[in-house]
């Protein structure tokens, strides 16, 4: 586009140049031959700002002091500087009256106001885009490829340092076997990843950092690692987890009497 415009403009220039009279051509060449800093327009503006005298008029403002041949010019203060100075005085006066006499508002009040406004914005935003929180009671195991892929991404970024990218364990325990320190199954794993481990503070809670939805995805990914048996994995820690035969968990009595199950730690 720009190249096309450039071509058209230069073509128009050429045509109009041929339409000029000889006098006009001469004028144009003169105007184009002087540099911008010597143009009338530029010099007029500079003169307004500085009111400096040209070298030819220096004799008018030369003082009669003579210090070993060094002489002094009595230039006026440049208007741009003088006016700026007056502006600061006016600003200062208005400022003093407004903030030290009338006590309009303080910086602390200004800050509080902005925080209050920002909080309102946050509330509005939350109301407009409600985030469904996943809780321990509601959490379900996700098995779709998309969620598991996201879970894997989180795991590699945030967890692999302690659990190894394949879940085999380094600082943290092996997550690929059926032995769990804090109980297996989506509810226990979700709860532990969301809230952190009570018996080992190295494993912090991730709900605040990741959000509960992402914790659900990474929990599901962790469970999907079951039985992968990566090479060099850490030995089993904790107790063997057996998923309750009937997934109806709202009858705690059965869980307590069923000795093959590790009771869900709440």
Q: Which residues bind ligand HEC (CB under 6 A)?
A: 155, 158-159, 161-163, 171-173, 175, 180-182, 189, 192-193, 197, 199-200, 202-203, 206, 218, 222, 238
Residues in CB range of 202: below 8 A, 6 or more apart? 162, 171, 172
The distance of closest approach from Cβ of residue 228 to ligand HEC in the complex, given in angstroms and rounded to an integer, is 14
Distance CA 236, CA 178 (A): 8
Taking the least distance from each CB to ligand HEC, the nearer of 182 and 212 is: 182
* Residue whose CB is less far from ligand HEC, 61 or 156: 156
Least distance to ligand HEC, CB of residue 145, Å? 19
Minimum distance from residue 251 beta carbon to ligand HEC (Å) = 24
Choose between 77 and 162: whose C-beta lies nearer to ligand HEC. Answer: 162
Q: What number of other Cβ atoms are within 10 A of residue 218's Cβ?
A: 26
Sequential DSSP letters for 7-38: HHHHHHHHHHHHHS-HHHHHHHHHHHHS-GGG
Residue placing its CB nearer to ligand HEC in the complex, 204 or 256: 204
Cβ neighbour number for residue 99 with a 10 Å cutoff: 13
Cβ distance to ligand HEC smaller for residue 141 or 158: 158
CB of 221 to ligand HEC, least distance (A): 8
Closest distance of CB 222 from ligand HEC, Å: 5
**Residues 193, 187: Cα–Cα separation, whole Å:** 10
- How far apart are the C-alpha atoms of 262 and 242, rounded to whole Å? 7
């Amino acid at each position: 586009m720009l190249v096309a415009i450039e071509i058209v403009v230069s073509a128009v220039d050429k045509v109009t140049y041929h339409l000029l009279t000889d006098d006009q051509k001469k004028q144009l060449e003169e105007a184009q031959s002087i540099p911008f800093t010597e143009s009338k327009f530029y010099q007029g503006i500079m003169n307004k700002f500085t009111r400096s005298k040209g070298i030819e008029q220096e004799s008018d403002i030369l003082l009669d002091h003579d210090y070993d041949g060094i002489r002094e010019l009595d230039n006026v203060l440049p208007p741009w500087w003088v006016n700026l100075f007056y502006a600061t005085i006016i600003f200062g006066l208005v400022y003093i009256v407004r903030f030290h006499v009338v006590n309009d508002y303080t910086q602390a009040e200004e800050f509080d106001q902005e925080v209050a406004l920002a909080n309102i914005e946050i509330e509005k935003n939350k109301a407009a885009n409600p985030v469904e929180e996943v809780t321990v009671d509601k959490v379900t195991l996700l098995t779709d490829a998309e969620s598991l892929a996201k879970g894997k991404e989180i795991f590699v970024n945030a967890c692999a340092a302690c659990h190894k990218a394949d879940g085999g364990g380094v600082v943290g325990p092996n997550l690929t076997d059926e032995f769990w320190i804090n109980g297996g199954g989506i509810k226990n794993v979700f709860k532990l990843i969301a809230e952190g481990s009570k018996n080992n503070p190295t494993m912090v809670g991730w709900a605040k950092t990741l959000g509960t939805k992402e914790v659900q995805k990474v929990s599901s990914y962790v469970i999907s690692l079951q039985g992968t048996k990566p090479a060099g994995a850490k030995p089993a820690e904790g107790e063997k987890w057996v998923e309750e035969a009937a997934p109806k968990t709202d009858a705690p009595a059965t869980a307590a009497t069923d000795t093959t199950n590790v009771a869900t730690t709440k």
